[in-house]
Structure 1
Amino acid sequence: MPDPSVPPPLSGIRVIELGQLIAGPFGAQLLGDFGAEIIKVEAPGMPDPARGWGAAKKNGIGLYWPIIGRNKTSLTLNLREPEGQNILKDLAATADVLVENFRPGTLERWGIGPDVLHAINPRLIITRVSGYGQTGPESHKAGYASVGEAKGGLRYLIGEPDRLPSRAGVSLGDTMTGTFAALGTMMALYARERSGKGQIVDAAIYETVMAFIEGLIPEYAIAGHTRERSGPILPKVAPSGVYPCKDGIVIIGANQDGPFRRLAEMCGADWASDERYATHDARGENQAELDDRITAWTRQRTVAEVLLACEKHGVPCGPVNRAREMLEDAHIKARKAIIRMVHPVMGDVPMQGVFPKLSQTPGRATLPAPELGEHTEKILSGLGKTPVEIEALRKRGII
């Protein structure tokens, strides 16, 4: 069991977050979950739109904000004004990491680009998240997750083959890129331990998406094969898909020989010795027919009955959960994969926990998402600003 008195692994690392919406802030959230101090910078009177976005709200606040805003403090600062830029420079001198997801060139236009910041603090890691990256002929373009998912090859693959490409119900391109941004930041921090120098982490949404498309590129370049939309299945990988039951649906993945033999036994069938299904390649060639046979078996049973049978026979299987089911799932509860935080405005908020789980120095969700500018005075005081100076900055619209 971890010792609660031992600080989380990133304790003592100070991160300035200049991002908005999801990609940059999600990466910073991951760092904050493992103990980094996150100072979120927002323009006075112009909060991060993520505070109000989402399909559902409470007291005017989007219900994603308590998650992506957790473990952060909030500083209001007008970076379009020289006084605000100077304060950012002072803050950067005290920081280990700066995360931003503006369009490339924005920091340079404001006079706070990497050359300026590294002159002030050579150890600073500058993590830059964008749609197309910091270089190349398209780097200047605005890029949202949807565009990056399309350019990176993912969006074409999502949906049914006889319809236009669809999308996942969440912003995968953003969160995947935020994850890569956090990973790159950690590698840069590790490299700094040896070199003593900071560097730039360049995380592009479309490139992150490309990292997840498996063998799609060489399949075309070498074999002339283009993957197409295939709905709930992976072509030539069977059985692996969604199967209807009396009262719902389940996922079954039994495409390897061992699990497939156990599946056949569970269904009371001799499929494992049938040459049409005896090997992985054969099952792929007869995928539709095999799925129909499995469906005929699952349709006669409830979800609970199928799950129990699969567990008994060692067949990979699981429910297709919504939030309702996840909140009641015994395994999710046992692993504390859903936690609760008390937000000062929204009250008790259930949310996903801190992942991955570290055995000795686990991450923690301890600080609720801040109100806009909630920590401005405290942060500026830490930079040596007096109450009189802080009030003057406020009157001039700098904070």
Structure 2
Amino acid sequence: MTTKTSVGPLAGIKVLELGTLIAGPFCSRMLAEFGADVIKIESPDGGDPIRQWRVLKDGTSLWWSVQSRNKKSVTLNMKDPRGQDIARQLALEADIIIENYRPGVLEKWNLGYEDLKQHNPATIMVRLSGYGQTGPMKDLPGFGAIGESMGGMRYVSGHPDRPPVRIGISIGDSVAALHGVIGAMMALRHRDTTGGRWNGKTGTDCIAGQGQMVDVALYEAVFNMMESLVPEYDHAGVVRERTGGALPGIVPSNTYTTGDGENIVIAGNGDAIFKRLMLAIGRQDMADDPQLARNDGRVPRTAEIDGAIQQWCATQTIDQALAVLKAADVPVGKIYSVRDMMSDPQFLARRMFEQHAFADGTPIKLPAITPKLSVTPGETKWLGPQLGEHNTEVLRALGYDDEQIAQLARDRVI
């Protein structure tokens, strides 16, 4: 496995990850991709469960190679006071701590935010949980699926005549993770403008910046994405419902089926775009209809407009439809599978795939890092680490000698 050493925008920032599965690890993954030094704490007994999720290679998830790239894996038995002490040392040295346990777990391990900030006032702790650190539901287990449901996303997903459906990825966890990254960056900015990093370990005089806790609830992160849901209900009594592939109140924007059985998304909802769309599909009458010139006039005639577009699509192959509508400057797109992505000229031109290799030399492609920064882009330095791969390196940096490390291993502390 090749390790790269270029510097990212977060170089020098130390991150401690205390979490498993998706929300916490995805949050720290993005920081690691842009240069932060991320130490991931795992249980010696198998590590993060995501190591065994979905498609495996030699017993380890292919997902792991992405979700934990650029991280250092340290195993600690957090039920052992010695494991808790090592985690505490790492936490006090970290700029950012990311955790996604149930509220109260870190406090049992003497790693709670209030305790740590007494010793390091610059502590930034990102806490991701199902329902947040307060409220009557805070102690309940809250997975991404529950956050998606409570936050409103599941209610509006699917067709009106069928039960709600899930989006095909763990979107609730991922949205929460992105909120965690944003919160961490804002907290880091505030810390640096109020003094900077804590230097208490060196004993030097300094003014430590003000740290803070970033409290991310999965259901609230999802809720934050729900657009006009609240004011529409509060002011007009409108409850947004499931609408299948359509975008209600913004016409036309829907999924249509071409003559060769493919699905195509057409977004002709801008006023000028609508006219170009109608001309492209041979509906001069609708292009010239004054009632349809504005969105508020088109909404009452949604079924008629969608019917006209579907009728035209049924006469075209998907390639023909794409060519006609792109030539007319109408936003249109095929619904991509990963097979489509891997050969698409736009994905390839933007270098959205990275070629790497496992330790045994087997090649593997990963998604490239986004967003793309022009001066300090992110980089994959190494794939997800072996369980406990960095135990010795990290413990030596804390002052443990080889015999002490060996004893911790014999005692199953690491």
Most deviating of 306-315 and 31-40: 306-315
Contact 2:18 2:100 in 1 (8 A): yes
- Look up the SS of the partner of 2:65 in the other structure: helix
- Look up the SS of the partner of 1:242 in the other structure: strand
Give the letter for the 2:280 counterpart. Answer: M
Aligned to 1:375: 390
Contact 2:5 2:381 in 1 (8 A): no
Mapping of residues 3-152 of structure 1, within 5 Å: 7-54=7-54, 56-152=55-151
Contact 2:26 2:174 in 1 (8 A): yes
Q: Which runs of 5+ in 2 are unaligned?
A: 195-208
- Out of 389, 392, 398, the position equivalent to 2:407 is 392
Identity %: 41
Give the letter for the 2:389 counterpart. Answer: E
- For residue 117 of structure 1, report the CA deviation from its aligned partner: 1.7
Q: Structure 2 vs 1, CA of residues 345 and 164 (structure 1 numbering), >3 Å: closer, same or farther?
A: farther
Contact 2:124 2:187 in 1 (8 A): yes
Matched, 1:265 2:264: no
- For residue 342 of structure 1, report the CA deviation from its aligned partner: 1.8
Matched, 1:332 2:331: no
* Residues in 2 aligned to 1:345 and 1:52: alpha-carbon distance in whole angstroms: 19
Q: For residues 327-375 of structure 1, what are the alpha-carbon distances to aligned partners after superposition, in whole Å with 9 as ceiling and x for unaligned? A: 0111001101122222326832222211111111111112110011011
- Out of 277, 288, 299, the position equivalent to 2:314 is 299
Mapping of residues 315-326 of structure 1, within 5 Å: 315-326=330-341
Give the letter for the 1:208 counterpart. Answer: A
- Out of 222, 232, 246, the position equivalent to 1:219 is 232
Most deviating of 294-303 and 94-103: 294-303
Give the letter for the 1:267 counterpart. Answer: I
Give the letter for the 1:119 counterpart. Answer: Q
- Look up the SS of the partner of 1:185 in the other structure: helix
Q: For residues 190-243 of structure 1, what are the alpha-carbon distances to aligned partners after superposition, in whole Å with 9 as ceiling and x for unaligned? A: 000112121111111000001110011111111001111111101222111111
Most deviating of 118-127 and 215-224: 118-127
Q: Structure 2 vs 1, CA of residues 370 and 153 (structure 1 numbering), >3 Å: closer, same or farther?
A: same
Contact 1:70 1:368 in 2 (8 A): yes
Give the letter for the 1:341 counterpart. Answer: H
- For residue 46 of structure 1, report the CA deviation from its aligned partner: 3.2
* Residues in 2 aligned to 1:324 and 1:86: alpha-carbon distance in whole angstroms: 47
Aligned to 1:343: 358
* Residues in 1 aligned to 2:83 and 2:14: alpha-carbon distance in whole angstroms: 19
- Out of 254, 268, 280, the position equivalent to 1:241 is 254
Q: For residues 21-42 of structure 1, what are the alpha-carbon distances to aligned partners after superposition, in whole Å with 9 as ceiling and x for unaligned? A: 0001001111111111111100
- Look up the SS of the partner of 2:93 in the other structure: coil
Give the letter for the 2:49 counterpart. Answer: P
* Residues in 1 aligned to 2:361 and 2:30: alpha-carbon distance in whole angstroms: 22
- For residue 158 of structure 1, report the CA deviation from its aligned partner: 0.6
- Look up the SS of the partner of 1:20 in the other structure: coil
Give the number of aligned pairs.
395
* Residues in 2 aligned to 1:376 and 1:81: alpha-carbon distance in whole angstroms: 16
**Aligned residues: CA RMSD:** 1.5
TM-score (norm 1): 0.96
- For residue 244 of structure 1, report the CA deviation from its aligned partner: 1.0
- For residue 278 of structure 1, report the CA deviation from its aligned partner: 2.4
Q: For residues 141-172 of structure 1, what are the alpha-carbon distances to aligned partners after superposition, in whole Å with 9 as ceiling and x for unaligned? A: 11000101111111111111111111100010
**Structure 1 outlier segments of 4+, above 6 Å:** none
Give the letter for the 1:31 counterpart. Answer: L
- Look up the SS of the partner of 1:351 in the other structure: strand
Aligned to 1:312: 327
- Look up the SS of the partner of 2:364 in the other structure: strand
- For residue 275 of structure 1, report the CA deviation from its aligned partner: 4.1
Give the letter for the 1:102 counterpart. Answer: Y
Most deviating of 367-376 and 59-68: 59-68
* Residues in 2 aligned to 1:105 and 1:345: alpha-carbon distance in whole angstroms: 42
* Residues in 2 aligned to 1:139 and 1:310: alpha-carbon distance in whole angstroms: 50
Aligned to 1:168: 167
- For residue 276 of structure 1, report the CA deviation from its aligned partner: 4.8
Aligned to 2:203: none
